[in-house]
Chains A and B, each alone.
Chain A
Amino acid sequence: MNTLSDSNNSFHSLFIHTANRPAILERVLRVVRHRGYTLCSLSMPESDSGDASIYMQVRGLNPDQLLRQLEKLVDVHNVALLNEEQEVLRA
């Protein structure tokens, strides 16, 4: 899917809202790796509800493709790409 020479091979911030089920983190990380993206950072704050929020930074091109693959995970409710402003707010 990706070529290393592509100039769009940059950082992307993703927010994943998902059911907090066993193996959800493994499922997400497997998709990230298999689809050719490099994980740069990840946080998954504790939650009392049945849902979980995952924030991650990845490197790779065409983040929409990764977003669509992550959306296919049965436990995932939705995935969003965060722009710089949203990232600042989160921080």
Chain B
Amino acid sequence: MTTAADDSEKPKSEKPKSEKPKSEKSESGHEQHGCTSGAEYVVQALLEHGVSTVFGYPGGAIMPLYDALYESPMEHILCRHEQGAAMSAVGFARASGKAGVCIATSGPGATNLVTGLAEAMLDSIPLVALTGQVPTSVLGTDAFQEVDMLGLSLAVTKHSFLVSSVDELPEVIEQAFRIAQSGRPGPVLIDLPKDILQAIPSTVLHSVREEGCLPMPEPDDLEQARVLISNAKKPMLYAGGGVGMASAVEQLRQFQALTGMPSVVTLKGLGSIAPQTAGYLGMLGMHGTQAANLAVQECDLLVCVGARFDDRVTGRLDGFAPDAKVIHLDIDRAEFGKRRQPDVALQGDLCRILPAIAVFSDCEVWQKHCQAMAHEYRWQYNAPGGTVYAPALLNELSQKLPINTVVSCDVGQHQMWVAQHMSFSRPENHLSSGGLGTMGFGLPAAIGAALSRPDDTVVCVSGDGSIMMNIQELTTLRRLNLPVKIVLLDNERLGMVRQWQTLFFDGRHSETNLSDNPDFIGLAKAFGVSGKTVWQREQVTDALEEMLASDGPYFLHVAINAEGNVWPLVPPGAANHQMLEGI
């Protein structure tokens, strides 16, 4: 075991701290700024939007903004790679519900943000990314560190701006935050040429504020939904990530309680239904529970709330819930009929729509049938052998954690085991890269979560493939001395790919052997993070307790069997009732 470095030796920001943003309110209520540069305005505007923490990495074109940060009260987190900054901003946003902000310089700094932008796009996370750009006088000349970031952003953002005048900044920043946070949230990029950051505004800049209100669906559609619910014999609630994004967890739970229908959730919907709720069957889909998948196949009404019939959820689409009528609730009209045609589509704010369609459904027999299935197919943790059984470890860890713990994870087998075997009281407590499936998400996301929720425990569950994708962020963790507990499940394999090679590629394990991994505890030690390794099942309980009792960051390295697979599994091309169950 290592000893954490003395706190007094860690690098500290040497910048002086000013007390307040330099702005005052005019008679119209708008903020007025006597800013001397575009960069100074950007920092002031971020503060006015309630941004207190940003994640980034400096470089040439963005230097004016870093100069403005130097004397501001803004907390800037220096990450060690721009992708780490973007993922930390996503973790910050997901754990707190606020917009995350990340900063990078032009060229490679900006391109390194792209995966983080795509991550936020696919999981609908409010993110504002600020990138430096070469001066406007040399735009389009292939100048040093010039890349067409506006062009690159088109596929991975909800919207993007290339600022062409310092006087545009108030409107652009206001729009960026509004677009990122309103409707279906998502990432917005603001590309900031260096000369604009340095320019003196031609007039006093005023902040602008715009408010929007979402209309309710038509009364006839709401009535049609109520009729379908009250007439259904086998209704099923299917909740997704949109519930948490809309802050509609309470409304969803009240809807479930009033209608009495059983429920399933997507990966991003975990935590939106309390796990102990009667008739709650857990996650559905490719690695969902047997009970969830079988019940959905059998239901006669599917009430889809903030979910999108993703391919990992439905399996073979034409065989998914074949006898069900569908009521689809979403903020995004483009999701209606994209994969499954709804019988009733209700667009708008879930907080207002759910109470409007909450009517009793006489489905007691069905509810009991679902509960019986949940019992019949409950998880078993008595796997033979003495090596560590990852599902059992994660289940034990989950039971030891305080209820408001944030668990981030990476992508692969361990991600599915986290979803299957850990419990979540709220969606914002489960940070998992759902849409994009980004290995390397877990550690920086945990850093963002720990900063946004300093009073809550934060755990990062990772795999030996994923952890190496953003391992440099251990430095950020140590610099900030954040008490993130990392649990690394190490099977010396790229486990999920290996599993598919075993099952669907005749056991040809091409390039999935990672047995030349580094000494992870030695690596953690090099970053100044304490930890230990466990190999045997009998060591697990003590190791978990030691980790949770530790101060500061901790790295628990767990050696697990390379042969372990994630079960059940809906194989590609199969319908969800055709699950494979292994040993």
Chain A residues proximal to chain B, CB less than 8 Å:
1, 22-23, 26-27, 30, 34, 62, 64-65, 68-69, 71-75
State A27–B150 Cα separation when bound (angstroms): 10
Rounded to whole Å, the gap between the CB of B376 and the closest CB of chain A is 37
Q: Which of B162, B333, B338 contacts A1 (CB 8 A)?
A: B338
State A73–B334 Cα separation when bound (angstroms): 11
**By the criterion CB–CB under 8 Å, are A23 and B333 in contact?**
no
Q: Which of B340-368 contact A (CB under 8 A)?
A: none
**By the criterion CB–CB under 8 Å, are B155 and A68 in contact?**
no
**By the criterion CB–CB under 8 Å, are B155 and A30 in contact?**
yes
Interface CB pairs A-B, < 8 A, 9: A1-B338, A22-B150, A23-B162, A26-B154, A30-B154, A65-B337, A69-B334, A71-B333, A74-B175
Rounded to whole Å, the gap between the CB of B268 and the closest CB of chain A is 20
Rounded to whole Å, the gap between the CB of B332 and the closest CB of chain A is 7
Q: Please give the number of chain B residues whose Cβ is less than 8 angstroms from any Cβ of chain A in the complex.
A: 16
Chain B residues proximal to chain A, CB less than 8 Å:
150-151, 154-155, 158-160, 162, 175, 179, 332-334, 336-338
A-B contacts counted at CB < 8 A amount to 33
Q: Which of A1, A27, A64, A68 contacts B154 (CB 8 A)?
A: A27
State A22–B168 Cα separation when bound (angstroms): 14
State A62–B340 Cα separation when bound (angstroms): 13
State A26–B332 Cα separation when bound (angstroms): 22
Smallest CB-CB separation from B158: which chain A residue?
Answer: A74
Rounded to whole Å, the gap between the CB of A70 and the closest CB of chain B is 9
Smallest CB-CB separation from A22: which chain B residue?
Answer: B162
Q: A22-B162, A74-B159, A74-B179 are in contact. Are A68 and B333 (CB under 8 A)?
A: yes
Rounded to whole Å, the gap between the CB of A57 and the closest CB of chain B is 21
Q: Which chain B positions have C-beta within 8 A of A62?
A: 337
State A71–B336 Cα separation when bound (angstroms): 13
Q: Which chain A positions have C-beta within 8 A of B179?
A: 74
Smallest CB-CB separation from B186: which chain A residue?
Answer: A72
Rounded to whole Å, the gap between the CB of B175 and the closest CB of chain A is 8
State A69–B338 Cα separation when bound (angstroms): 10
Q: Which chain B positions have C-beta within 8 A of A1?
A: 338
Q: Which of B151, B158, B334 contacts A68 (CB 8 A)?
A: B334
Q: A65-B334, A71-B334 are in contact. Are A23 and B158 (CB under 8 A)?
A: no
State A23–B191 Cα separation when bound (angstroms): 13
Rounded to whole Å, the gap between the CB of B212 and the closest CB of chain A is 12
Q: Which chain A positions have C-beta within 8 A of B162?
A: 22-23
Rounded to whole Å, the gap between the CB of B158 and the closest CB of chain A is 7
Q: Which chain B positions have C-beta within 8 A of A65?
A: 334, 337-338
Rounded to whole Å, the gap between the CB of A14 and the closest CB of chain B is 15
Rounded to whole Å, the gap between the CB of B143 and the closest CB of chain A is 19
**By the criterion CB–CB under 8 Å, are B337 and A64 in contact?**
yes
Q: Which chain A positions have C-beta within 8 A of B150?
A: 22-23
Smallest CB-CB separation from A66: which chain B residue?
Answer: B334
**By the criterion CB–CB under 8 Å, are B154 and A23 in contact?**
yes
**By the criterion CB–CB under 8 Å, are B151 and A26 in contact?**
yes
